[in-house]
Amino acid sequence: MDNDLQTQTMKRVQAILAEALQVPPDEISPQLAFGDLPQWDSMGHMEVIMRLEESFGIEVNADTIAGLTSVLVICSYLEEQGYVR
């Protein structure tokens, strides 16, 4: 995967998280993980999952939900599954 695409994915994911967690986009660093912000709690996490599903037209299964706990992991998951190309 080329760097441009990775950067685009990262930006898109950061925007989705900012919207889902209702925080300014500059608070969503690539290293941000579940629990780092008070807004990224259980409810916030499920909001993130649902926004990802809507935005990428995907269905995240129950097994995966527990693993998508950082911005980097979310990006890797989307790329590995071929949801961004």
Partner 1 sequence: MSAEILEIVSTLPIPEYLSGEVQSKLAYVDEAILQAQVTPGGERIRLSLAAAPDSEQRSRLEDKVQRVVASMVKGAIKLKVQVLEDHLDRPVPYALDPMEALLARKEVKPEAVGIFAVGPLLSRLIQFFEGLFLELADSFDAAPYRFPTLIPARYLERVNYFRAFPHSLSFVTHLRTDLDAIDHFAQHAACDEHGLNEPLTSFAGIETLLSPAVCYHLYFALADQPLPGGQVVATAVGTCFRYEAINLTSLERLWNFTMREVIFVGAKDFVLQSREIARQRMAAVFEKIGLAYRVESANDPFFIGEFRKQAAFQSAFQLKFEIRARLPFKESTLAVGSYNYHQDFFGRQLNITLPDGSPAHTGCVAFGLERMAFAFLAQYGLEPSGWPEFVRQALA
Nearer to partner 1, 31 or 66 (CB): 66
Residue 63 burial class via C-beta count within 10 angstroms: exposed 0-12, middle 13-18, buried 19 and up: exposed
Nearer to partner 1, 3 or 42 (CB): 42
Question: Smallest distance from the beta carbon of 49 to partner 1, in angstroms?
Answer: 8
Residues 18-57 that bind partner 1 (CB under 8 A): 35, 38, 41-43, 45-47, 49-50, 53
- Alpha carbons 7 and 50: distance in angstroms, whole number: 22
Residues 55-84 that bind partner 1 (CB under 8 A): 60-63, 65-66
Nearer to partner 1, 4 or 59 (CB): 59
Query: What is the contact surface with partner 1 in residues (CB under 8 A)?
Result: 35, 38, 41-43, 45-47, 49-50, 53, 60-63, 65-66
